[in-house]
Amino acid sequence: MSAAKTERLMNLLIMLLVQRHFVAKSRIREILYADASDDAFERMFDRDKEELRSIGVPIELGSIDAYFDDEPGYRIQPDEFALPEISLEPDEAAVVGLASRVWQHQRLARATTEAVRKLTASGADIDVTALEIAQPRLSADEPTFDVFFEAVIERREVRFDYWRTGQDAPSRRRLQPWGVTRYSGRWYVVGFDLDRADERIFRLSRVQGAVSKVGEPGAYEVPADLDAAAVARRLAPTPHRVRAVVLAQVGAATPLRRDAVSVETGVTGPDGSDGWDRLIIDRAGGGIADEICSFGPAVYVEAPPELRESVIERMAASVEGLAR
Amino acid sequence: MSAVPGGAATSKEQVARLLALVPYFHARESVRLAEAAADLGVTPEQVVKDLKVLFMCGLPGGYPDDLIDVDLDALVSSDGKLVRDGVVRIGNADYLTRPMRLTPTEASAMIVALRALRAGADGETTEIVDRVLGKLESAAAGGGATTAVAVHATPDVEPDPREQTMRTTLAEAISHGVQVTLDYYVPARDEVSRRVVDPHELSQRAGYTYLDAYCHAAEAPRSFRLDRIAEIEVSPTPISTERQGPRSLEDGLFSGTDNATLVTLRLQAPARWVVEYYSVEEVRPAPEGGGAIDVDLRVADERWLTRLLLRLAPHAEVVHPTTFGAEFTAAAQATLAWYRPGSA
């Protein structure tokens, strides 16, 4: 972080905020980038504008004066820039503090922290440790969550490879995303499928590889009456729950134990010793095989047979792959 | 997590902080440095660093009168030490008296979190949440841009009464200045280890509650996530260490990167999500093609890597250094042997 750069960004922001009219690009250069060459100025100025916009500063582009050649000018309208007056009662501020702890997802947790900072700056006294009441948690572990979330906010088309059950290979999809929604413990993106010309939902955990955003932001409108949660309920398959019976070595697999419906101790395990516990786990499908694999030989699957086979196949493929 | 997440402090983050800092002091008279830092969720050192930059900003005239006034003398003593109870005064910045509007991401994250709270709240709380939602929605919609709420979700984890009890227990231990013994789950090793710590502070980071403490087993300050603490035992023994300065959000959490090894993994298509999830140094197409990639990442604890490779099996392998794959191979063989006795 360079103090000089922060200073330049701040001065650019202040300059555009206090002028009533558009400020000519040449004047901005003269005052803030006086030492830069033509190329360097263009590069720095473009990047500076982008950085300010990325934190939410609304920089407008307009033309300065009809009489001159169309030299571009810039401004920030105070009404667009500033948070409107908002006063929170003490109980309301406490609720805001609680809300800032709901997200378990790094990016959205940061967004709520930033929102609390702005509300604090606006005069509210928010004590984030005030109310000692139990609170809910929201998480999003799917790696593509962020990019779909951004695309919805930007209203930008996305393309991605999607793996449907029963297909041999993923297929390429083009979607105008309307919203992301959580249903039965899974995240989905809801939107307009450009190839099927209809509304569709996609489960984030089935998206393969990277998601690319294409085209311009603001490319389409989200239906005003959209209820993404209702669309998900209508279009999503009813999730099947998996009941698994596993043996775990004493002291291992704490996360599985936490979710266990029952735990039976002193069970004889595959090594013939009684240093194992039998756990019955009740989970919404997907991901349980990955989690069980991650514990290696400390967890042994008894049932169901599909889960057992899946672990055996995966371990065998690894061992054979390594022998190759 | 042993991989190091990215995110060095940047100028734009500092700008965002300054844009909250100026209105914060404008809305309050005579706030002390330490109190302001706590309210804004940063260290007093960072507040002073930010103010020193602010001191150089102002109107485009170039005259001394155009610059924002900051009374730095009240915050830093003549020998360079911070004056924590110094009063912060900022002047000549009337154009920055309001904080910036919430961005669509911030408004969306906040609104969804409030709705999640509402879903599990009692009647009285529901009514308060509704008032806040009303105020936020109108503040967000007041400008030119309409705020799309991009996310719709009900909470997937019910309120955890265990964690609440822990908070209370730890808060008491902190105020009495006594040691606690923790049974703490370490995912990298999939084991619960017992350690005696001096509890110093409870803090919130990225949605989790942490206990910042001095760990007598590690002989160093450590942060412990409350949801990974299995048991707490409060001891009558007084703590023997001082709190070692506030730790910033980014540092501290992920220690031990100095002796991390650079490991190259080959990931098949189904394992490519690793790149988006952990901070990696370099990604390139694998020589074999077919969507496979080679990824360089820093690994501080081989056991963490083994657990990751097992989770990804059979779509990931270690390319370099080859010795780093041995533990994984042994684990995969041992697992297989449970199901096919004699095959290993």
Give pairs for A169-177: CB < 8 Å, separation 24+.
A170/A208, A173/A202, A175/A200, A175/A202, A176/A219, A176/A220, A177/A148, A177/A151, A177/A152
Amino acid in position B201? E
Q: Find the largest Cα–Cα distance for chain A.
A: 92
Instruction: Tell me whether residues B110 and A115 touch, CB distance under 8 A.
Output: yes
Residue of B nearest to A316 (CA): B336
Residues on chain A touching B10 (C-beta within 8 angstroms): 1
Tokens of A306: 């599909």
Between CA A258 and CA A88 the distance in angstroms is 39
Distance from CA of A89 to the nearest CA of B (A): 9
Q: Two tokens at A129?
A: 């440790």
Q: Are residues B26 and B54 in the same domain?
A: yes
- Determine, for residues A181 and B337 on separate chains, whether the beta-carbon distance falls below 8 Å: no
Pick the closest to residue A57 from A71, A73, A78, A85 (CA basis). A78
Q: What's the average model confidence in pLDDT over A139-167?
A: 85
Query: Which amino acid is located at B5 in the chain?
Result: P
Give helix then strand counts, H and E, for chain A. 11, 12
Inter-chain CB proximity A296 and B105 less than 8 Å: no
Dist CA B344 CA B333 (whole Å): 6
Whole-number pLDDT of residue B258: 54
Task: Please tell me which of the candidates A55, A104, A180 has its beta carbon nearest to residue B208.
Answer: A104
- Ramachandran region, residue B30 (left: φ > 0; alpha: ψ -120 to 50; beta: rest): left
Which helix (H) or strand (E) segment holds residue B237: the answer is: strand B229-238
Cβ neighbours of residue B164 under 8 Å, at least 6 residues apart? A132, A133, A134
With beta carbons under 8 A apart, name residues in chain A contacting B8: 1
Look up the CATH number of the domain holding residue B311. 3.30.70
Global confidence as pTM: 0.63
Amino acid B154: pLDDT: 55
Tell me what pLDDT residue B251 has. 30
Task: Say which CATH number the domain at B193 has.
Answer: 2.30.30.100
- Residue A131 clears pLDDT 80, i.e. is over it: no
pLDDT digits (tens, 9 = 90+) for A116-129: 999 999 988 887 66
Question: H helices of chain B, where?
Answer: 11-27, 33-40, 44-54, 104-119, 123-141, 161-176, 274-277, 302-312, 326-339
pLDDT at A168: 67
Coil vs helix vs strand at B257? coil
> Does one domain contain both B39 and B79?
yes
Listing from the earlier edge strand, what are the strands of the sheet with A241-249? Answer: A260-267, A276-284, A241-249, A299-303
Provide long-range contacts, Cβ within 8 A and 24+ apart, for A56-59.
Answer: A56/B100, A56/B101, A56/B102, A56/B103, A56/B106, A57/A13, A57/A81, A57/B100, A58/B101, A58/B144, A58/B145, A59/A16
| Paired sense of beta strands A171-183 and A186-193, if any | antiparallel
Residue B31 CB-density burial (10 A; 0-12 exposed, 13-18 middle, 19+ buried) = middle
Q: Does residue B222 form part of some domain?
A: yes
Contact A202, A147 (CB under 8 A): no
CA distance to partner chain A, nearest, from residue B268 (Å): 10
Question: Which positions ≥6 away from A210 have C-beta within 8 Å?
Answer: A147, A160, B272, B276
Q: Is residue B135 in a domain?
A: yes
Within 8 A by CB and 6+ apart from B107, the residues are A115, B136, B140, B147, B149
Q: HSE-up of A103 (CA within 13 Å, CB side)?
A: 28
Query: What's the token pair of residue B119?
Result: 């879903």
Contacts of B151 (CB under 8 A, 6+ apart): A108, A149, A152, A179, A180, A181, B108, B109, B112
Domain ranges of chain A: 3-81, 84-139, 145-235, 241-323
Widest distance between CA atoms in chain B: 85
Pick the CATH number of A145-235 from 1.20.1300, 1.10.357, 3.10.20, 2.30.30: 2.30.30
Question: Which of these, B300, B332, B253, B207, lies nearest to B3 by C-alpha position?
Answer: B300
Q: How many angstroms separate the CA atoms of A257 and B183, rounded? A: 15
Nearest CA in chain B to A8: B57
CB contact under 8 A, B313 and A314: yes
**Chain B neighbors of A31, CB-CB under 8 A:** 60, 62
pLDDT per position as a tens digit, A191-232? 999 999 999 999 898 888 889 999 988 889 888 777 777 777
Interatomic CA distance for residues B261 and B298, integer angstroms: 5
More confident residue, B171 or A2: B171
Note whether A82 contacts B101, CB cutoff 8 Å. Answer: yes
Res A3 pLDDT > 70: yes
DSSP letter assigned to residue B254: S
Report ipTM for this prediction: 0.71
CA distance A254 to B232: 16
3-class DSSP state of A219: coil
* Total domains in the fold of chain B: 4
Q: B109 and A79 in contact by Cβ < 8 A?
A: no
Same domain, B90 and B16: yes
- Which residues make beta-bridge pairs with A281? A244, A260
Is there a single domain that holds both residue B270 and residue B303? yes
- By residue range, what is the domain housing residue B200? 161-238
Interface-testing mutation among B105, B305, B335, with chain A (most A C-beta atoms within 10 A): B335
- Distance from first CA to last CA of chain B, Å, rounded? 31
Cβ contact, residue pair A55, B12, below 8 Å: yes
Q: How does pLDDT run along chain B (344 residues), one tens digit per residue?
A: 333 333 346 899 999 999 999 999 998 888 999 999 988 888 999 999 999 999 999 998 778 789 999 998 889 888 888 898 999 999 999 999 999 988 888 888 888 888 888 876 777 788 888 999 888 877 765 443 444 455 665 554 455 667 778 888 998 999 899 999 999 988 888 888 899 999 998 876 655 678 889 999 888 888 888 888 988 999 999 999 877 654 433 333 344 445 688 899 999 877 877 776 677 788 888 888 777 889 998 888 888 899 999 999 999 999 989 888 899 999 999 999 999 876 54
pLDDT at A36 (0 to 100) = 92
Average pLDDT over residues A170-198: 88
Domain A3-81 is in which class? Answer: mainly alpha
- pLDDT at res. B298: 87
Q: Write out pLDDT tens, residues A238-270.
A: 656 788 999 999 989 988 888 788 999 999 999
Residues comprising chain A, all counted: 324
Question: Which token pair is A122?
Answer: 């606006």
| Contacts for B172 with CB less than 8 Å, ≥ 6 apart | B234
Q: Which helix (H) or strand (E) holds A147?
A: helix A145-154
Chain B residues close to A312, C-beta within 8 Å: 336, 339-340
Residue at token pair 């409060």: B234
